[in-house]
A and B are shown apart, each in its own frame.
Chain A
Amino acid sequence: MGTTETFCKKVFGSDASGTKLTISAWFKISDSMANNRRGERYIITSTDAATATSTLGYEIYHNTNSRKTRFYWSETGMYFFPGDTSVGMQMDASGWYHVVLKRDSTQGTDTERLKMYINGVSVGQLNNISTWPAQDSTTQFFKSGTNASNNSASAGNYIHNVNAYYSGYSTTYGMEGGYIADLHVCNGYAYDASSFGSFDANGIWTANSSPSVSYGTNGWRMKFNETGASADANGFGADSSGNGNHFATDNLGTNPSVTDTPDNNFATMNPNSIFPSTVPIIRDGNLQSKSESTSGAAFCSTIGVQAGKWYVEAKIGSSATLEVGAVDIGTEAFVKSGTATNSVGYDYGGNIRVNNSNVQTSLATYTGGDIIGICLDMDTATGTVTFYKNGSIVGSAQNFTTRKPLFAAFYMQSHTSGGSQFVDWNFGNPTFTISSSNSDANGYGSFEYAVLSGHYALCTKNLATYG
């Protein structure tokens, strides 16, 4: 927390709060396991700061032996945690989670007044709840306000935020670069998870993108398919429920509307698989990997592959003494020793390296702003990596030499003497502006340079076919 983040904001002109509320959304959380990232993440909030706050968020907590993430619901005077149940814990930043919070304070039995579902499964009788909502109590959502500015939080001025929480007279941000998809906030209606998804033939919880739900007067739905900052139908915070409850957006990043969705999950960098584990930072939707010390650090992608041909672009940060490439993550070797065990990389000095040793030298060097294309071919006998600098091939295709990787992932490794280094990764949803948009042969991804023939963006739709 503490860094500026994209967030949406709105006040309603009239009070429509009531006893019932449903929030449904898909989340791809970020930055969950780094030791210095503990705390609460405020995702969907309503607060007047002075007297009342209600939040759907998640909490990262850990001690030496246990680091966990869990969604929660809070209202003034109570917290509602899923607890340490198998469905209550979310540790994986590589996947999407569906969360439904159902509130119905008309229920006579207090335990029926709040329900939370994670990927379609009710977390059931929860622990860590301080008290249940009083019967027929009203939610703090959907109440009216007059000013959505973050310095206006005061009694009676209810500000609704997505990915933020107005704490007093300042903004506390949300997910530190996470993702939200298909957000439904229903005013006056209490729905189960089954209204928003179903289990497929393989037992996988899948989204229903056209649920038959009502939104009430102050409810809204966000598809995040627009990119504007204004509170209108062209805005990032546009309401597609038909209510016209559009949210304004502050701190918009580049290309904030992405095709990384629950139905086609793209690779990102993995905050749970970094070396060393205590220093590096992953941000901007887990697409910027950054080393903030002189000790060096290594990061790898959330998805590793055993077969297929894959393409990714790495835009080098302004200070570049690092290397990028592909590494075997089939064992714990990466998180214990970085890329030394079984990797093929290309470093800033113009060297192609195998297991951290130069094997092709005096090639093109690169620096901040250059875009390195990495083509990973796992259909060869050993696994092969080919590098491109700004669209031009560098050296020649290089085999893995230790063995064919069990799972090959993309990586960045900063050199020990390099200080703060970073790469903005483009697995198909760039965080940086590109001058052209090239998709793979299946139409997935948006890349600066043409995707090498036969290669594909690293996403689950393609994995299902080629991986």
Chain B
Amino acid sequence: MSEVKVNTIKKYTGSTITIGESGDTITITAGATLSGSGASLTALNATQLGSGTVPDARFPATLPAVSGANLTNLPAETKPTISSILPTVIENTAADVVITGTNFISVPYVDAISSTGAITPANSVTFTSATSITANFTLPVDGSYYIRVENNDGNAVRSSSALLTVSDAPAWTTGAGSLGTIAGNFSGTVATVAATGDTVVYSETTSVLTNAGQANCTLNSSTGVITTSDFGGSGTSATTYSFTLRATDAQGQTSDRNFTLTSVYDIASAGRFDNP
């Protein structure tokens, strides 16, 4: 092989200079520097970089998106998940909440995280299985709470929504027992019952008050007002009607109370002992 020493190689014609032919090896002597603007290396095939190190400086500040499937040999990491809880509504007193999910490891830490960010750890956690744990909470502040489960390997999950609601159950302000004595066949307002709570709805769990064959009343589900167009319906003698009313709040919490209403009837007739 002859050796030609030149200082400059310029194209003879056109705009392309070709070095070597297919199958050739073009060697740049070690210690030599291949200089010039990289922007000109337009057709450089990186697969042909058989060895060597690309300096960090040659990477962009933001790496291009890479499919996780292509990230192999990463360290193993299994996070728990939360799919549901039961019940979804508890009161301020200590209550068990069953958390259903996956990948629970005995015994995880469980927290309730309020919408304000306040974190209240569970009083206790019982590990049932990898898909079910039971946390006991005492949450004195009403509101909505996220649930966070952290396995003892550090993997953790927080529910994507506030799954747990803390709310007071409806509380009856109308005392149990007699709501009064009402004249049979009376038409009008019989009584009013009341309970405190979040948008309380009233209903009857028995079938006495609103039964046309018995007390024959109507219960306003919003106001608790009991009315009738004919108290006692077809009854003609004094009767005590015993029934149970339920107050249900917006969270579905219920409170029942037993009441009575008694019908009385006038003496409707008398005998006149004439002198015919």
Contact = CB atoms under 8 A, between A and B. Distances in A.
Interface of A: 3-7, 26, 28, 163, 174-182, 207-210, 222-225, 236, 251-264, 283-285, 429, 431
Nearest to B274: A253
A253 B238 contact: no
Contacts of B273: 5-7, 163, 174-175, 177-180, 253, 256, 285
Interface in B202-240: 237-239
Interface of B: 237-239, 264-276
Which of B237, B274, B276 is packed against the most chain A CB atoms within 10 Å? Answer: B274
B274 A207 contact: no
Listed from nearest, the 8 A-B pairs whose CB atoms lie closest are: A253-B274, A224-B271, A210-B238, A263-B266, A181-B270, A225-B269, A210-B237, A285-B272
A28 B269 CA distance: 13
Which of B264, B265, B269, B272 is packed against the most chain A CB atoms within 10 Å? Answer: B272
Q: Does more than half of chain A's interface fall in helix, strand or loop, or is it mixed?
A: loop
A257 B269 contact: yes
Contacts of A258: 269-272
A257 B269 CA distance: 6
Contacts of B238: 208-210
A147 B241 CA distance: 46
Given A261-B266, A284-B275, 19 more contacts: A6-B272, A6-B273, A6-B276, A28-B270, A174-B273, A178-B272, A178-B273, A181-B267, A209-B267, A210-B239, A223-B267, A236-B271, A251-B276, A253-B273, A258-B272, A259-B270, A283-B275, A284-B274, A429-B272
Contact of A210 (B265, B272, B275): B265
28 contacts: A3-B275, A4-B275, A5-B274, A26-B270, A178-B273, A179-B271, A180-B270, A181-B269, A181-B271, A209-B237, A210-B237, A222-B271, A224-B269, A253-B273, A253-B275, A253-B276, A254-B274, A257-B269, A257-B270, A259-B269, A260-B272, A261-B266, A261-B268, A261-B270, A263-B268, A284-B275, A285-B272, A431-B274
Given A209-B237, A209-B238, A179 B272 contact: yes
A37 to B, nearest CB: 12
A202 to B, nearest CB: 15
A272 B272 CA distance: 19
Contacts of B275: 3-5, 176-177, 253, 283-284
B266 A264 contact: yes
Contacts of B272: 6, 177-179, 253, 255-258, 260, 284-285, 429, 431
Given A4-B276, A284-B274, A223 B269 contact: yes
Nearest to B239: A210
A207 B264 CA distance: 10
Nearest to A288: B275
A180 B269 contact: no
Nearest to A251: B276
Contacts of A285: 272-274
